[in-house]
Amino acid sequence: MPASEGMAYFAGGCFWGVEEYFRQVQGVLQVTSGYMGGHTDDPDYRKVCSGETGHAETVRILFDPELVTYKELLSRFFSIHDPTTLDRQGADIGSQYRSAIFYIGDEQLEDAKDLIYILGKRKVFTDPIVTKLEPAGQFFEAEAYHQRYLQRNPLGYCHVNIGKAKKPIDPKFVD
């Protein structure tokens, strides 16, 4: 176990694929699916999907900063989802599927702003990035049946290319 762990919170559509992708990245110690960014203190899947709570499907990532940096996780996050679509990823539509980075402290915020600027300057995406940058608030762990969903249901729905987790990051996503 490392002397210190890093933590990151990302929302990039359905959490099943985002969770499974990051679970396979070297240096990631634990990934948990849950909800963040809403205005109630009792979110559950049904309520979040109805749009009544304002929460986003979010993953909490614990990582060893000696093996993988927060900046690398950010680059990977932008490489696996479409940060240019407001409140949607593929066929999943609603604010719970928004692209968001829930940052912890000024350094994570600046890293996220810097990468968004670089990706925009490089024109990596045709449309502008609409990823929301929000301070991390309370994280609510999703129901047990959502944890490791794609490990238990390998043919389950997934908008993320999981295989990219074992490959080097495309250089266009790296600052």
pLDDT digits (tens, 9 = 90+) for 154-168: 877 787 877 777 777
Q: Rounded to two decimals, what is the model's pTM?
A: 0.93
Say yes or no to pLDDT of 2 above 70.
Answer: no
Give 6-169's CATH code, choosing from 3.30.1740.10, 3.40.50.720, 3.90.1150.10, 3.30.1060.10.
3.30.1060.10
Mean pLDDT of 86-115: 96
Say yes or no to pLDDT of 3 above 60.
Answer: no
Q: Which residues are catalytic?
A: 14
* Residue-range domain boundaries for the chain: 6-169
pLDDT band at 1 (very low <50, low <70, confident <90, very high): very low
Q: Mapped to the 3 state alphabet, what secondary structure does the chain carry?
A: CCCCCEEEEEEECCHHHHHHHHHCCCCEEEEEEEEECCCCCCCCHHHHHHCCCCCEEEEEEEECCCCCCHHHHHHHHHHHCCCCCCCEECCEECHHHCEEEEECHHHHHHHHHHHHHHHHHHCCCCCCCCCEEEECCCCEECCHHHCCHHHHCCCCCCCCCHHHHHCCCCHHHCC
